[in-house]
Structure formats: C-alpha cells, structure tokens
Amino acid sequence: MTAYLRAVPSLTPVGPDVAHLVRAHLDEVPHSLDSLRGSAERLAHWGAVLSDRLLDGHRLLAAGNGGSAAEAQHLTAELVGRFDGERESFAAISLHAETSTLTAISNDYGYDEVFARQVQGHGRRGDILMLFSTSGQSRNLLRAAEGAHELGITTWALTGPTPNPLAAATDDHVAIEGPSASVQECHLIALHALCRAFDASVAHARRDRPAGRDHA
C-alpha cells in the first residue's frame, strides 16, 4: 500500500481562475435541477404513456445532435436493454446511430432532412418521437417534428429555456433553465426519471394484462 501511494502523482496545481470556473459550473447545476423538479408530474405522465404505447406494439424514436444525440441513444439503450430490473426488451431507435443512413440522407437531401426522412421510414401512427436539444432551434429536429405530425406520431421534446421553436413545435415538452451544459446534464437526469416511471408503469400494467404480449 505504501509503495502504491508513493506512485500516485500529486495533483497538478491550478490557478484560482480555473478553480473558480469549475465551482461556477457546479453552482449552475442546482438551479437547472430545480427547474426540472417542476416537471416531475409531466415526466411521470410520459412514462405511463410510453409504457402503454410500447406494450401495445408501438415504438420510440429518438434524436438529437452532438451531446444531445448521446442522450437520445442513452434513452433507447435503457429501453432496449433494461433500467432498474429485469423486464422484456422494447422497441426504441436512435435515429442518429445508423451512420450509413445518416450520411446518405445528408448527402442526398441535406442535413436538415436526416431525421425527418427516417421518421418517414420507421414511424407509424401511435409511435412516439422524442427530441433532445439544449437550444430548441435545430432545424433537423424541427423537420422531424413536422414529419411526425403528418404521420400521427406523438412528439415530445427535452429542451433548454423557453420560448424556443422546438418546444412550440412538439405535442409536449420539458424545458430546463440554465446554460447549455447544465441543461444537458439535467436531460440525463430527466431521461432516467422517465425510465423509472416507465418501468413502474410496465410492472403495473403486467399485473393487469397477460405476460408475453407481442410488442415487436
């Protein structure tokens, strides 16, 4: 143990300005989280609706750009895999994750259409499209919402501060106050809260409907 401790390098000294930046970033998070707390009932409602739709054979489509793409993919992974405990897998697709499709559409139709074109191909009436954006202004997400409405697909958005175009363009939204980084961090908390509500709703529904119902 002594030899190990001697091998660990000491922390590199940083100037007070750098430490101040870190503290300022951390101080922003509680403000953003407080704004998210006001949407707890909405997230619980989303979880219940998502449970009903996926149990009935519909699917979740999700999309975002950059860090928001990672959040979207995190959500679909929790649904196809698992969150709190063992349950069946559900249909959830991250529209940015199919790189050949993404680049082909971008090349042929332009980047504004990369998600709308996939919604047209994958989406069916009764599905849910969930869009992640800290700014709420991404044109490709707005086009995806437009395409979803034409097909009878429910649209939800996790965004930063409102008003913003994406919140206005979707059927429902959760908006978080704060700078982009804090908003994105709270998007992760929001999607985990949604997953918890989803799993609880699935468990409740399983007590009232036969197990093994086809939801592919």
Q: For residue range 14-65, list pLDDT tens digits in order.
A: 677 898 899 999 999 999 999 999 999 999 999 999 999 999 999 999 999 9
Question: Sorting pLDDT into bands at 50, 70 and 90, what band is 207?
Answer: confident
Residue, of 17 and 5, whose pLDDT is higher: 17
Report pTM. Answer: 0.88
Domains and CATH numbers, the chain: 34-205 (3.40.50.10490)
Task: List, as one string, the DSSP characters of the chain.
Answer: -HHHHHHSPPPPP--HHHHHHHHHHHHHHHHHHHHHHTTHHHHHHHHHHHHHHHHTT--EEEE-STHHHHHHHHHHHHHHS-SSS------EEETTS-HHHHHHHHHHH-GGGTTHHHHHHH--TT-EEEEEESSS--HHHHHHHHHHHHHT-EEEEEESSSS-HHHHHSSEEEE--S-HHHHHHHHHHHHHHHHHHHHHHHHHHHTTS-TT----
Q: For residue range 85-121, list pLDDT tens digits in order.
A: 899 999 999 999 999 999 999 999 999 999 999 999 9
